[in-house]
Structure 1
Amino acid sequence: MSNSIEKAAQRLEQLRQAGAQMPAAPAASSSPVSTPEPAFVPEPIRVQPATEAVSPSRPRAAMPVGSKAVKLDFERLTAAGFVTPTAPRSMVADQFRVIKRPLIDNATGKGASVVQCGNLIMVTSSMPGEGKSFTAVNLALSMAMEMDHTVMLVDADVARPSIMKVLGLPPGPGLLDLLVDDKLEMSQVLLRTNIENLTLLPSGSPHAQATELLASAAMTDLVDDMGKRYSDRIIIFDSPPLLLTTESRVLATHMGQIVMVVQAEKTLQSQVKHALSTIESCPVKLMVLNQARSSDQEAYGYGYGYGYGYGQGQREPAAEAEVQS
C-alpha cells in the first residue's frame, strides 16, 4: 500500500514539474476509484423519489369512487301499483305502513324481544307466482321512505331474477358476481337510487351454477358479512320459493325475519304448512295473504290481521297478514 502511495505521489510531482494544474489537497486524499462517485451518486437520488411518488397514485385512480347511481321512474312504478315518494296516499301505501312496522321494530331492537339478525329479512312464498317480488319491492320502497332507516333490496332469486325488470332497470353485475369473485367489492355492484335511503343489489351475471352458488359457503359468508357490516341497514332478500328449490331454505337459516306471501284461492293449505315447516328455525315469520277478498279468510283459514292491496287484477284487491313467532 505504501509503495502505491509513494508511486502516486511521485507521479503527481512529475506532472507538476511538467506544468499540469493539479491541486495538492485532492491529490493527497483521493484515489482513482473514488473520483467518479460525486458525479454518479446524486443521479439516482434525484430520480428515485419521483418514481415512488408516481407509482402508488395509479391504482388509486383506478379504484371505484362509489356505487353506480340509477334513476327509478316513479310515475311508471305508481301506475303498476307500487309505493313511491311522489304517489298520492293510497290503500296500498297505508297497508304496507302497517305491515312494515313490526318488521322495522324487530330490525332495530324495538320489538317485544330482541331478534338476532333482525335486520335481515327474507321475502318468499311456497310456489312461484304468488307475488313475493311485488311484496319485496313494495316493502323496500315503503321502508326507504322512513326518516331514520336505510334499506338494501337484494335480488336473491338467482334462477328467475325479476327485481331489476320490475323496477325498469337493465341487468348488471351483482350477487352472483360477489360469490364467484372474492376480490370484488360490494360498492362496485351496489346501485344507488333516487330514493336517498334505498340501494339495490341485482342478482348479477348469469351463471351455470347459480342455484348452487346461493347454497354455497360463499353465500353464507356473504350474508353474515352483510348483516354485520350493515348493522344499521335493513336488508331485504327476494328469495326463491320454498317448495321449488332448497336454496331458499339454506338462506332462511341466516335470516332474522321471514315474510311468507300466500296467494288466495291458489295456494293450498298443505303447501303453506309444508313451506312453513322448512323455516321453523327463523324466529319471526310474517304471513301475507295476497289477492284475497275479506270473506276468503274463513274459507282458507290463513288468519287475519294486517292487510294490503295487491294493486293488480280486475277485482278490488285485498290481503291479510298474520304475525307468527
Structure 2
Amino acid sequence: MEKIQNAIAKARAERDTAPGSSVNVGRPSVGASTDAANSSQVLEAWDSLPELKVDNRRMEKNRIVSFSGGKAASSIDMMRTRILQQMRVNNWRRLAITSGTADCGKSTISLNLAFSLSQQSDFRTILMEMDLRRPSLAKTLGIKEGHNLAAVLNGSARFEDNALRYGKNLIISTNKGAWKNPAELLQGAQLPKALAEIEATYEPDMVIMDMPPMLVSEDVMAFLGQVDCVLLVAAAEATTIKQVDMCERELAAQTNVMGVVLNKCRYMEAEYGYGYYG
C-alpha cells in the first residue's frame, strides 16, 4: 500500500513540475439547487418514482457493505466524507468513477458510495450507469425491470420510466444490456440536454456516473467534458503504477482528478480502509 502511494505521488510531482505542465480548471460547476418555491415539485418527482427493494443477502454477497452500515462500512463512509468535502469546497456536482482496466471494482465502489450517501437524509444522490458496454448494476442489485438509461440519454425514453428510488434520497438508473456505439452516444448533442433535464427535475446534490474502464475504449474520454471531477479505482496486485499514471495524465487533461481508490487489497493496514488518497 505504502509503496504504490509513494510511487504515484512521485509520478504526480514529476508530471506537475515538467515543462509545459498546466493546472486543469475543469468543467464549469453546475449551479446550486433552486429556491424553496420549486421544492414541492422536486419532492413530487422523487416520490413518484418506483421504489427499489434490495435483498440484504444479495448486497452482502456482492460486497455492498455500506447498505447495512456499521463497522464494515467505516472505510466507505470515510471516503464519502472526503469526497463530500472536496465537492462542496469546489461547488462540484457530477462525479465520474472509472478504472484503468476491467475488474478493478469501480461499480462496487460506485454502489457503496451511493448507499453511503443515502444515509444522509438531507442529501440527494443519483447514480447513473454509464458503462454502456458491460452494464452490471441491475444484476448486482437484482433489478428486473429492464431499464435503459442509454435510451434516456439519446432522447428516446423518459428518465422516470428507467429509474428506481431507494428511500427518499437515492435514485439509481441502470441498463438492461449493452448499447450499440456508446462513444457516439456519450459525446452526442442530445446527452447534455438529457442530463440537464434530469438535474432540473430532481435537483440532486450529487450525480455519480459509473463509467467504463478508460483504457479499453474511448467512452470515458468522450464523456469527461460533462463531469466536474473523476475518481480513479485501481486494483491491488493488478493495476500497475504505469497504468495509474497514464490514466491520471489523460483525465487531468479534461477534468479534475479527485483521487485514487486502491481496491481489492488482501493485506492492508486498518487505518487505510479502501485505500482512498487524493
Q: 2 CA distance for matches of 1:201 and 1:257? A: 20
Equivalent of 2:139, from 140, 146, 165?
165
Q: 2 CA distance for matches of 1:208 and 1:135? A: 26
**One-letter identity of the residue aligned with 2:56:** F
Structure 2 match to 1:240: 212
Report the 3-state secondary structure (helix = DSSP H, G, I; strand = E; otherwise coil) of the residue aligned with 2:131. Answer: coil
Task: Give yes or no for contact 2:126–2:204 (8 Å, CA) kept in 1.
Answer: no
Structure 2 match to 1:289: 262
Structure 1 match to 2:229: 257
TM-superposed deviation, 1:134: 0.6
Equivalent of 1:90, from 49, 53, 71?
71
Unaligned runs of 5+ in 2: 1-46
Aligned residues between the structures: 230
Tell me the TM-score normalised to structure 2 length.
Answer: 0.74
Structure 1 match to 2:251: 279
**One-letter identity of the residue aligned with 1:103:** I
Report the 3-state secondary structure (helix = DSSP H, G, I; strand = E; otherwise coil) of the residue aligned with 1:208. Answer: coil
Q: 1 CA distance for matches of 2:65 and 2:120? A: 12
Task: Give yes or no for contact 1:176–1:207 (8 Å, CA) kept in 2.
Answer: yes
Task: Give yes or no for contact 1:150–1:197 (8 Å, CA) kept in 2.
Answer: yes
Equivalent of 2:80, from 89, 92, 100?
100
TM-superposed deviation, 1:294: 3.5
**One-letter identity of the residue aligned with 2:55:** D
Structure 2 match to 1:132: 106
Equivalent of 2:150, from 163, 167, 176?
176
Task: Give yes or no for contact 1:215–1:251 (8 Å, CA) kept in 2.
Answer: yes
Tell me the TM-score normalised to structure 1 length.
Answer: 0.64
Task: Give yes or no for contact 1:106–1:119 (8 Å, CA) kept in 2.
Answer: no
Task: Give yes or no for contact 1:67–1:189 (8 Å, CA) kept in 2.
Answer: no
TM-superposed deviation, 1:131: 0.6
Q: Equivalent residues in 2 for 1:48-197 (5 A)?
A: 66-85=48-67, 87=68, 89-91=70-72, 93-107=73-87, 109=88, 111=89, 114-115=90-91, 118-170=92-144, 172-182=146-156, 184-193=157-166, 195-197=167-169
Q: 1 CA distance for matches of 2:230 and 2:221? A: 11
Change (3 A) 1:241 1:88: closer
Structure 1 residue runs of 4 or more that deviate by more than 6 Å after TM superposition: none
**One-letter identity of the residue aligned with 2:217:** T
Q: Which has the larger radius of gyration?
A: 1
Structure 2 match to 1:320: 275
Unaligned runs of 5+ in 1: 1-64, 296-304, 309-318
Q: 2 CA distance for matches of 1:82 and 1:248? A: 24
Give the structure, 1 or 2, with the largest relative contact order (CA under 8 Å, sep 6 or more): 2
TM-superposed deviation, 1:77: 0.7
Cα RMSD (Å) of the superposition? 2.5
